[in-house]
Homo-oligomer: A and B are copies of this chain.
């Protein structure tokens, strides 16, 4: 007899977790739709030609690949087989892989449907992605992403609305202590210019992205090893260590960027986003200008975002930015877009840690009908249908067992109300109605029960 198990890094979501996950997802969906985003779903499997080379070498290693069907070894060159190189043979025996994120499939979709799409195109997409990563706390091999992107416009209204959507989602979820960190690739480019990083920009960004993890000294060591001079480091950290309000940071950087056009462009964009924000009647609360924010993904070209929930173990729950050429690799250059993504699993963990889920978050019946005998059970069926017709999720205990067992079932499933039926109830139509939380009981007819349950729903 085999003992069943789950693949490493994957999880089942039972009813209790599903209720909480649906609470998160429904709220995100509601906000996305409120801002005019439309849903898209793409298949779990993509051709490997679509996926490979889009996430760097490391990403390619982490793609789950699907074995070709049928006799996949049939046409393999004998020499290749004898060479026993898994890497070389992979492309011969596998044509498809599981999607690694929602961005590349979205870019593919836009290119394939460019003639039908009305631009600017605002889409949201909520689906699982798969990565053959080493599983650890907060990192899974299957996890959901919730993306919203706008493509086909350069307008900074889109960046501003990302900030507004994050605020709306967190308000719905009850998360109040968080920061929306913002930076701009052009500001980073200006910074690189100021510390003479020409040709080694990415080493610079990779290093400063680690600032809050490894600290100033380690970052400096790393940069020295990459050939940055002490003068470069002084110029760099004068900026990174600047402390002040957003307005002061802008003023300070403006003075530094007098001769660096890219830096000026970044500052101008950022100021315009703040200006638009006040145009919406919104304030800068939670918005934090973070000059050290770099974000790893290389396709960003404009504003970049990262959202951190404070005082939880894994706080980074969302990120995104503007990209100018995401669809270029599929043959459609010059389509600017901006988007962001919520990590549902991290939001879930953070909300658990902050105890933000309603105590009895369950998707369950509102009423259980319990019965003393066959006749009562038969009588209960008709009541059941009345409850359901009134939109009250209900169930009857299906077997004829002791009343206590039926009520225990209601308690375990967190069903808030029960109706107990015996011969007296069948005769009179006056039912024993019990609030399972308080234990309070009353004898009332069905129409009163319906109005009580509806009122408290």
**A interface residues with partner B (beta carbon < 8 Å):** 1-7, 10-15, 18-19, 21-22, 33-36, 38-47, 49-50, 61-62, 64-67, 69-74, 76, 81-82, 84-87, 89-90, 93-96, 98, 108-109, 111-113, 116, 118, 120, 122-123, 128, 130, 132, 141-142, 150, 153-155, 157-158, 164, 168, 276, 279-282, 329-331, 362-365, 378, 381-382, 384-385, 388, 391-396, 398-399, 409, 412-413
Interchain residue pairs A-B with the least CB separation, the first 10: A36-B395, A155-B398, A10-B43, A15-B38, A36-B365, A18-B39, A279-B381, A118-B412, A65-B67, A4-B108
- When distances are taken between beta carbons in the complex, the residues of chain B under 8 Å from A281 are 381-382, 385
- When distances are taken between beta carbons in the complex, the residues of chain B under 8 Å from A130 are 44-45
Q: Is the CB of A39 within 8 A of B363?
A: yes
Q: Is the CB of A399 within 8 A of B153?
A: yes
Q: Is the CB of A2 within 8 A of B155?
A: no
In whole Å, how far is A58's beta carbon from the nearest beta carbon of chain B? 12
- When distances are taken between beta carbons in the complex, the residues of chain B under 8 Å from A7 are 43, 45-47, 95-96
- When distances are taken between beta carbons in the complex, the residues of chain B under 8 Å from A3 are 330-331
Q: Is the CB of B19 within 8 A of A112?
A: no
Jot down 5 A-B pairs with beta carbons below 8 A, ordered by A: A4-B112, A18-B38, A36-B393, A71-B86, A120-B409
Given known contacts A157-B396, A330-B4, A385-B281, A18 and B45 CB-to-CB distance under 8 angstroms: no
State in angstroms the CA–CA spacing of A141 and B47 once bound together: 14
State in angstroms the CA–CA spacing of A41 and B142 once bound together: 12
Q: Is the CB of A11 within 8 A of B43?
A: yes
In whole Å, how far is A53's beta carbon from the nearest beta carbon of chain B? 10
Closest-by-CB residue of B relative to A17 is: B41
State in angstroms the CA–CA spacing of A33 and B22 once bound together: 13
State in angstroms the CA–CA spacing of A131 and B381 once bound together: 40
Q: Tell which of A33, A93, A395 has the most Cβ of chain B within 10 Å.
A: A395
